[in-house]
Amino acid sequence: MRTMDIKVLICDELPLVRDGLRTLLESSQDLKVVGTADGALQTVHQVESVCPDVILVGLSAPEASMSLAQGLLTEPRNPADLSPHLVAFHGDWPDAVIAGLIRAGVRGLIHRRATSDAVIAAIKTVVSGRVVLSDMILDRVVDRFCQQETAQPRCTDPGIDLLTKRELEVVSLVGEGLSIEGVAAKLFIGVSTVRTHLHRIRQKLDLKDRTQVVAYAYRSGVVSQQQPFAMRR
């Protein structure tokens, strides 16, 4: 007797990629594509209507994937409903970014150069309740374990002295993977205020974007690097 199909929602900015992923996934007998979206906002809106088991995320910017995971975790849902699993493609991103994605709720991380079989296997694995990490990330995890016993405390970056107490709080929360909306809720301030803080932080520390703020949070010691791959339950 055939088991129930795994329902997949595809999220990617490029129509050509979405079509290619749809063709790939529908070639597997037990996978069913129930919808596609071109961004995080459209994906969150579709979740309630199509009820996917897995969301396959191909967004190019890591902060967009983090915002999507945060949006799904904070979106009011029926307690009887199970939140979908997230499988995201990643590039050659810093450890801090990968850790932020995992903390945000992503349970599958596969490289953009992954094979078709690896993509299908990742979807099926996260549905079974297990975590999937690419070889690149697993190598980093092994290296981190090997270094833990001999690692020396990291020096605090002198740039921290340029930040106010509130700005340090924002850097810490962004480093932990919270979206701008999540930071605002945590600190009981407005979203526009968070954006202003981030703008000033980037100016003071000469950082280009939020991804660099995340990396700085770990590099400077604002967020502990002892367990960068610990996952939020």
Q: Hey, how many other C-beta atoms are within 10 angstroms of the C-beta on 173?
A: 22
Q: What is the pLDDT of residue 10?
A: 96
The pLDDT value recorded for residue 228 is 41
Predicted structure pTM score: 0.64
For residue range 129-162, what is the model confidence (pLDDT) as tens digits? 999 999 989 888 877 777 665 554 454 577 788 8
Residue ranges in the chain whose pLDDT is less than 50: 1-2, 76-80, 152-153, 155, 225-233
Q: Which amino acid is at 233?
A: R
Show the tokens assigned to 226: 């002892």
Cα first-last separation, the chain: 34
| Residue 123: per-residue pLDDT | 96
Topology annotation, domain 6-144: Rossmann fold (3.40.50)
* Domain 158-219 sits in CATH 1.10.10.10: yes
* One-letter amino acid for residue 90 of the chain: H
What residues have CB less than 8 Å from 50, skipping those under 6 apart? 7, 9, 34, 35
- pLDDT of 149 reads 52
Tell me if 128 sits within 8 A of 117, measured CB to CB: no
Task: Give the residue extent of every domain in the chain.
Answer: 6-144, 158-219
Report which residue type is found at 208.
K
> Which pLDDT value is given to residue 161?
81
Chain centroid to Cα 42, Å, comes to 17
Q: What is the pLDDT of residue 177?
A: 84
CA separation, residue 125 to residues 78, 122, 128 (Å)? 25, 5, 5
CB atoms within 10 A of CB 67: 24
